[in-house]
Amino acid sequence: MPQSLKSAAPLDPGFSPAVRFNRLYVATAKESGRAVPLVLGLERENGLVSRHETLVLPEPTEHTLRYVERLVKILLWARGGWRVWFGGPRAIGEHIARSYASTGERRFDVDLMGRVYEQSFEVVLTDAAAVPAENEAHRSIGGHLDGCRIGFDLGASDYKVAAVKEGEVVYADEFPWNPKDEPDPQYHYDHLNGALKKAAAHLPHVDAIGGSSAGVIVDNKFMVASLLRSVSAEKFDRAKSLFLQLQREWNVPLEVANDGDVTALAGAMSLSANGMLGVAMGSSEAAGYLNPQGGMTGWLSELAFVPVDYNPAAAADEWSGDRGVGALYFSQQAVNKLLPAAGIAVPAAMGLPERLKTVQDLMAQGDPRAAKIYETIGVYLGCTVPHYADFYDFKHMLLLGRVTTGVGGEILMTKARDVLQQEFPEIADRIALHVPDEKSRRVGQAVAAASLAAIKK
């Protein structure tokens, strides 16, 4: 199924946008007159269920299996779930059940979903009519700026903290760290607690603390987090309860959310608008969503693992082992991936943040090789916004993170808007792309996080 683009990715000619394949497959199935319904139900905690309905050809052909397997993967990481209800052709469902088994090709996803929801993952084969009805959550959170608050944002290469008094930032700073290589949870606790104390020194007292962090967070507990990748299973329970320990020490309301959801909240607060998908391009891709009613859905929105490129030769993610997933297209990892094609050599031992800084410095000098990297990521983005729009109802997309800063970030955004207008004009007309100003880019997450917890009266 050819995926020709009017706007090819300069440094990645094999880029095959997921949205093109998916839409072409469904259109072909409809035109055949032989399409049958496929209903997928993603069951999460407390009986919550997301549903997705589509059409497929009944035979388990290569294109059909690719379409359905990638669709299941997208839905798992966008919505989340420990049980997949598969209401469609049995032969296709059996392929999915084999792939998403503890010994199957997608065992990484099976293991992670089991850990997130603390349930054994399973695929249930049934017919379309028997898939459970949709049962979604809506939780209003954030927007509280009264009193004296501290907000923090934990990333893979740095963490930020802000002191906020009656909605005004009185202190903000960021600090480097290397959490993913540290096996002792005390390292993570000491760094964060030290930053909170620095922020508290700029306030007369502390009424509430709010946090933003990479990873899957449920009830203020880490369920899965790349920041804790080196923490052993024996010590993970302690690391998992890091925020609960902090709450006990500080004895004030404390609320922590996934950094993507806080990105979306930051956008909604700055634009006074809902229906917001927030994407932070940092050490990985973090994403979050506020629905048109301004509520958080409880969806995972771990778009770092969502496939965006169906090129079978696409680079593989080092953690999941899957190819073409978002982390390698919208983060420092994307910049690193494109360095060889751009002809930019860096020392093998150089870390991702330093590699990005090298590209930013070259960009500031007007180096055309660096510009090609940002143009390529802009093509990725322009072709992925409509892909996300097939699974999220949003009118605004806010982009944050170090990759979006500086002259390179401007090139990235301009290219993305051009691609949207040229390739997907119907999406360009209804979805606006936004970037915050430079100050908000640096500390906007921490400030929005500070607003998460309501002060007990």
Query: How confident is the model over 383-411, as pLDDT tens digits?
Result: 999 999 999 999 999 998 889 989 999 99
pTM: 0.86
Least confident of 40-44, 112-116, 137-141, 248-252: 137-141
pLDDT at 451 over 90: yes
Least confident of 158-167, 219-228, 309-318, 371-380: 219-228
pLDDT at 37 over 50: yes
Q: Enumerate the domain spans of the chain.
A: 34-130, 148-261, 265-446
One-letter identity of residue 237: D
Domains 148-261 and 265-446 share a fold: yes
CATH (residue range 148-261): 3.30.420.40
The predicted pLDDT at position 444 comes to 67
CB of 307 within 8 A of CB of 317?
Answer: no
pLDDT at 143 over 90: no
Class for the domain spanning 265-446: alpha beta
Mean of the per-residue pLDDT values of the chain: 93
CA distances from 111 to 101, 114, 223 (A): 9, 5, 12
pLDDT at 443 over 80: no
